[in-house]
Structure 1
Amino acid sequence: MKVEIHATPDAIGERLAARIITGVRTAGAEGRNYVLGCPGGRSPLPVYQALGRLLAKEPVDCSRLIIVMMDEYLRPAEGGGFSPPPAAAHYSCRGFGEREIVGRINAALPANFHIPDENFWMPDIDAPGGYDERIAAAGGIDLFLLASGAGDGHIAFNPPGSARDSRTRIVALAEQTRRDNLATFPDFTGIDDVPSHGVTIGVGSIAEQSRAVAMVVWGEGKRHAFYRLTRAGAYDPSWPATIAIECRSAELYADADAAGEWGAR
């Protein structure tokens, strides 16, 4: 896996935002959609912020950009089963995507260049497996932005022990994953406030549906994640984010704080 070390998270954001915009332009010129896989949370936020800044300077037609979100929290529903939180909830992945990704891009562009509503995708909790089919029918994901959990290496909501061939499904969240998300969503009052389940794209789905992946880790808190990712030789189910190593055109983007001594080479 190719590794790029940048001075700051903002530098990572600028680098990947420019890459995404180039991809959107190229796909548009070829008359096809550009499919971007997106996690929520802190790690990719500099990328989304940079997209808004760059597009404000030089508008690009994003009407054929499809945003594929990775996961969503679930709460127990009355009568059994689960339901997603309202988009207005502080921890909603749908709400994050609508505000931080689609909202930033659309705010920077004229109305006719907007990402249309139908180009923002979330996994369907009533038929999770249909997400993989929908992505495959779109031709796969051109670039999947990825992030690694700091404490247990979860990717999306795939907990440690996830099978290499796992597909989009409903999972019980690992306790460490829930603790990691206390930092991601500081409005949670404690671990008991963090949902215990989620719907997530699978480990195998990421590997098989992506033409290229960009793993983003930054900050001292992700130094162990960087260590695990740069030393794994294949998928290690004890650290699910290592699936990035087995993906096509895999690249790891880290800042100096996450890379530590490795970055000083």
Structure 2
Amino acid sequence: MKTMIHDTPEAIGAHLSARILAEIGAANAAGRPYVLGCPGGRSPTPVYQALERQLTAAPVDCSRLVIAMMDEYLLPDGDGFSPPAASAHYSCRGFGAREIVGRINRALPDALRMPETNFRMPSLTDPAAYDGELATLGGIDLFLLASGAGDGHIAFNPPGSARDSRTRIVTLAEQTRRDNLATFPDFRGIEEVPTHGLTIGIGSIATLSKAVAMIVWGDGKREAFCRLSAATAYDPSWPATILAECRNGELHADAAAGARP
């Protein structure tokens, strides 16, 4: 696993955005799609902002780009669940449409834009099918990852998740819900944070990704950085340590998160 310390979150974003755009160009030349795995939330936002800036300055054909999202909140609905409306402030689908696809397409002329059909989410009715869908696309070229600050959750996989877990519905850990009060500040309290989610699995990430880039920044992610940088194998007490078992794994931190005690 390669570890890189950048001066600022913006520097992380610029570095990874440049890599992504170069790899999209190479995939275009080979006539194949480029699949980018994306989390929502604060950690990857500098990458999405940098993609918009860099594409505005030097457009790249993103018509073959596929965005594969990691997870979505679920709300009780009779005897089952349903996702929140995309307009909800905490909707992962809404975040992806606005902050990832929206930024990319806003920077590009019509002919180069990513089609809406290339935006992928796990299916509530058949979660396990997501793994097969991504495998059919050839796997995930680069999966951007983020670690929960308080419990190391990755996507919505709680502590204790099995190494071979696949895309599924999970009960959110209490600490995960508390972490997400900061991620989505419009929540007025823990009681408003959903208790269930649809998530890509730990095994899905490791099996389907050709390369991964874990992003941690800010003082609040120092413990995450320490746990991840020391990991040599998956530790279910801190699920983001699957990074250690992924192919071509990289850990990207800013100076604040990467500062040693």
TM-score, normalised to structure 2's length?
0.99
What secondary structure, in the 3-state scheme, does the structure 2 residue paired with 1:181 have? helix
Q: How does 1:238-249 map to 2 (within 5 A)?
A: 238-249=237-248
Which residue number in structure 2 is paired with residue 85 of structure 1?
Answer: 84
Question: Matches of 1:202 and 1:176 in 2, distance apart?
Answer: 19
Which residue number in structure 2 is paired with residue 204 of structure 1?
Answer: 203
What is the root-mean-square deviation in Å for CA atoms of aligned residues?
A: 0.6
Q: How does 1:128-139 map to 2 (within 5 A)?
A: 128-139=127-138
Which residue number in structure 2 is paired with residue 192 of structure 1?
Answer: 191
The aligned amino acid for 1:30 is A
The aligned amino acid for 1:234 is A
Q: Deviations over 1:41-67 (max 9, x none)?
A: 000000000000000000010000000
CA shift for structure 1 position 216: 0.2
CA shift for structure 1 position 233: 1.3
CA shift for structure 1 position 112: 1.0
Q: Deviations over 1:67-120 (max 9, x none)?
A: 00000000001x310000000000000000000000000000001111101100
Question: Matches of 1:229 and 1:248 in 2, distance apart?
Answer: 15
Give every structure 1 segment of 4 or more consecutive aligned residues whose post-TM-superposition deviation is greater than 4 Å: none
Question: Matches of 2:248 and 2:191 in 1, distance apart?
Answer: 39
Question: Matches of 1:211 and 1:261 in 2, distance apart?
Answer: 30
The aligned amino acid for 2:111 is N
Which residue number in structure 2 is paired with residue 250 of structure 1?
Answer: 249
CA shift for structure 1 position 175: 0.3
What secondary structure, in the 3-state scheme, does the structure 1 residue paired with 2:210 have? coil
Which residue number in structure 1 is paired with residue 228 of structure 2?
Answer: 229
Q: How does 1:157-172 map to 2 (within 5 A)?
A: 157-172=156-171
What secondary structure, in the 3-state scheme, does the structure 1 residue paired with 2:74 have? strand
CA shift for structure 1 position 261: 2.5
Name stretches of at least 5 consecutive residues in structure 1 with no aligned partner: none
Question: Matches of 2:110 and 2:232 in 1, distance apart?
Answer: 46
The aligned amino acid for 2:23 is G
Question: Matches of 1:131 and 1:107 in 2, distance apart?
Answer: 28
Which residue number in structure 1 is paired with residue 30 of structure 2?
Answer: 30
Question: Matches of 1:25 and 1:242 in 2, distance apart?
Answer: 30
Structure 1 residue 13 and structure 2 residue 13: aligned? yes
Question: Matches of 2:108 and 2:143 in 1, distance apart?
Answer: 23
Question: Matches of 2:119 and 2:154 in 1, distance apart?
Answer: 20
Question: Matches of 2:5 and 2:171 in 1, distance apart?
Answer: 34
CA shift for structure 1 position 182: 0.0
Which residue number in structure 2 is paired with residue 48 of structure 1?
Answer: 48
Q: Deviations over 1:201-257 (max 9, x none)?
A: 000000000000000000000000000001111000000000011000000000000
Which residue number in structure 1 is paired with residue 126 of structure 2?
Answer: 127
Which residue number in structure 2 is paired with residue 75 of structure 1?
Answer: 75
What secondary structure, in the 3-state scheme, does the structure 2 residue paired with 1:170 have? strand
Name stretches of at least 5 consecutive residues in structure 2 with no aligned partner: none
Which residue number in structure 1 is paired with residue 146 of structure 2?
Answer: 147
Question: Matches of 1:197 and 1:106 in 2, distance apart?
Answer: 31
Q: Deviations over 1:123-144 (max 9, x none)?
A: 0011000000100010000000
Question: Matches of 2:83 and 2:157 in 1, distance apart?
Answer: 17
Question: Matches of 2:147 and 2:260 in 1, distance apart?
Answer: 19
The aligned amino acid for 2:232 is G
Question: Matches of 1:38 and 1:97 in 2, distance apart?
Answer: 8
CA shift for structure 1 position 145: 0.2
